[in-house]
């Protein structure tokens, strides 16, 4: 939005698509709820809504400090995973009528309902409120299969009998919602699966539902596994020491990946004086980020190839099907994030396998540097991404 458009919105005051917040520090929780409500766009508007930060309720300038730290904190509204699916938003600094402020421009989400900490919020006039069951029904009805990401689409031929309902009830629901919300929820398990996009309105499991809780995901999605091979040497032609076919629903698959990575790391132990020095050839924190990124960002639609982890004596290669996606390109890789599989990303975040979106590559590179490893190297093609991690 340009300055003239924002100035006009400021003059009209708060509404179903405009909210004023005095400070990013004192109002951050309220800002998150409003961003969630704007992303849901209950009024079915196709135009973006705006949260003005640095403006009092009456529209006057709050004279609040607007600095880089303020912008950073507001950026975390999108990236920290507390609002899911991830909202599309721009954060812009402006000076309008002599008032320095920040405009958070929020775009209607293609696959509502959007939730903040497990609760959907909507805009009722100039107020942000928790969505009622009827509100959520309206939001669900707005979905259109033709425009949904692949992991939101139905698995034709599958039924809820192909989903591990007990795992969904015991592992996912308590992680996604607090006890009070669960106690007040009157939906059936089928209704909860539908509300969370793991099933369609016709009670057909979605791709994301099968990947997250399927009893046998490979039956429906042939490439939904990880191939791990350990070589005694530096080339593919060298002898194979170990080989694993890792599959299953996301919680089991990711746990198995963590186990195999931990077991594969070699730690050198040196005793110096009274201190025991442990020097792993690879930092577990870095490898965890790379394998999780591969599961999250691979394509499940255009390839039946698995994720491949090739562990050589001098390096590890992790290759996942699918090139860079959306707004991510080679020049901004690692700093800009987009989601080919937003439902998979949401499930991984809720289950605790991702702490914060958008920082995985930076976190992994830092762990490598601190452990004495060279930086990871990336090779991109239209159909795959290959990361190479050198030993220390």
For 200-254, what is each residue's pLDDT tens digit? 988 999 999 999 999 999 999 999 999 999 999 999 999 999 999 999 999 999 9
Q: Are residues 284 and 194 in the same domain?
A: no
Q: Are residues 231 and 368 in the same domain?
A: yes
Q: Are residues 30 and 92 in the same domain?
A: yes
- Band (pLDDT 50/70/90 cuts) for residue 40 is very high
| CA pair distance 63, 274, nearest whole angstrom | 57
Is residue 133, in this structure, part of any structural domain at all?
Answer: no
Is residue 182, in this structure, part of any structural domain at all?
Answer: yes
Q: What share of the chain in percent tops pLDDT 70?
A: 96
- Please report, in angstroms and rounded to a whole number, the separation of the first and last CA atoms in the chain: 48
CATH code (residue 14):
3.30.950.30
Determine whether 290 is exposed, middle or buried from the number of CB atoms within 10 Å of its CB (0-12, 13-18, 19+). buried
Q: Are residues 25 and 84 in the same domain?
A: yes
Strands 377-381 and 384-390, sheet pairing? antiparallel
Q: Are residues 122 and 40 in the same domain?
A: yes
Kindly write down the DSSP assignment for every residue of 207-256, as one continuous string. HHHHHHHBSSHHHHSTT-EEEEEEESSSSTTSPEEEEEEEESSHHHHHHH
Q: Are residues 63 and 191 in the same domain?
A: no
How much is the pTM?
0.72
For residues 377-391, give the mean pLDDT.
94
Read off the pLDDT of residues 173-207 as tens digits, 9 standing for 90 and up. Answer: 998 888 787 777 778 899 899 989 999 988 999 99
Specify the pLDDT at position 318. Answer: 97
Residue range of the domain that includes 322: 225-390
Length of the chain: 392
- Of the residues 128, 154, 187, which one is the last residue of a structural domain? 128
Q: Are residues 339 and 241 in the same domain?
A: yes
Q: Are residues 328 and 305 in the same domain?
A: yes
Read off the pLDDT of residues 255-306 as tens digits, 9 standing for 90 and up. Answer: 999 999 999 999 877 666 566 667 899 999 999 999 999 999 999 988 899 9
Q: Are residues 205 and 252 in the same domain?
A: no
Residue 171 in contact with residue 351, Cβ under 8 Å? Answer: yes
Is residue 135, in this structure, part of any structural domain at all?
Answer: no
User: What domain count does the chain have?
Assistant: 3
């Amino acid at each position: 939005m340009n300055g003239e458009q924002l100035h006009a919105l400021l003059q009209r005051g708060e509404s179903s698509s405009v909210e004023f917040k005095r400070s990013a520090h004192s109002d951050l929780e309220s800002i998150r709820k409003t961003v969630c409500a704007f992303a849901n766009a209950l009024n079915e508007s196709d135009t973006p809504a705006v949260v003005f930060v640095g403006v009092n309720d009456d529209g006057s300038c709050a004279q609040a400090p607007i600095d880089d730290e303020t912008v950073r904190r507001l950026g975390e509204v999108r990236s920290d995973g507390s609002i899911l699916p991830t909202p599309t938003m721009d954060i812009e600094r402006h000076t309008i009528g002599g008032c320095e402020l920040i405009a958070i421009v929020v775009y209607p989400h293609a696959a509502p309902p959007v939730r903040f900490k497990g609760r959907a919020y909507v805009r009722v006039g100039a107020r942000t409120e928790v969505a009622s069951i009827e509100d959520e029904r309206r939001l669900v009805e707005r979905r259109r299969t033709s425009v949904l990401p692949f992991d939101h689409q139905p698995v034709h031929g599958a039924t809820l009998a192909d989903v591990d309902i007990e795992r969904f009830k015991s592992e996912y629901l308590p992680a996604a919602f607090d006890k009070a919300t669960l106690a007040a929820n009157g939906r059936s398990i089928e209704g909860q699966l539908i509300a969370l996009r793991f099933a369609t309105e016709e009670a057909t499991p979605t791709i994301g539902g099968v990947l997250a809780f399927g009893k046998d995901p490979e039956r429906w999605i042939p490439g939904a596994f990880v191939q791990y091979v350990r070589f005694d040497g530096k080339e593919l032609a060298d002898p194979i020491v170990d080989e694993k076919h890792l599959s299953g629903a996301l919680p089991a698959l990711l746990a198995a990946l963590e186990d195999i990575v931990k077991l594969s790391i070699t730690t050198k132990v040196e005793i110096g004086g009274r201190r025991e020095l442990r020097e792993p050839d690879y930092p577990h924190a870095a490898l965890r980020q790379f394998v999780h990124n591969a599961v999250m960002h691979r394509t499940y639609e255009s390839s039946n190839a698995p994720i491949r982890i090739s562990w050589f004596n001098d390096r590890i290669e992790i290759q996942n099907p699918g090139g860079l996606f959306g707004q991510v390109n080679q020049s901004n890789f690692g700093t800009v994030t987009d989601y080919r599989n937003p439902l998979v990303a949401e499930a991984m975040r809720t289950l605790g396998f991702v702490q914060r979106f958008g920082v995985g590559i930076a976190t992994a590179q830092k762990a490598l540097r601190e452990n004495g490893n060279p930086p990871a190297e990336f090779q991109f093609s239209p159909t795959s991404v290959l990361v190479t991690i050198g030993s220390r």
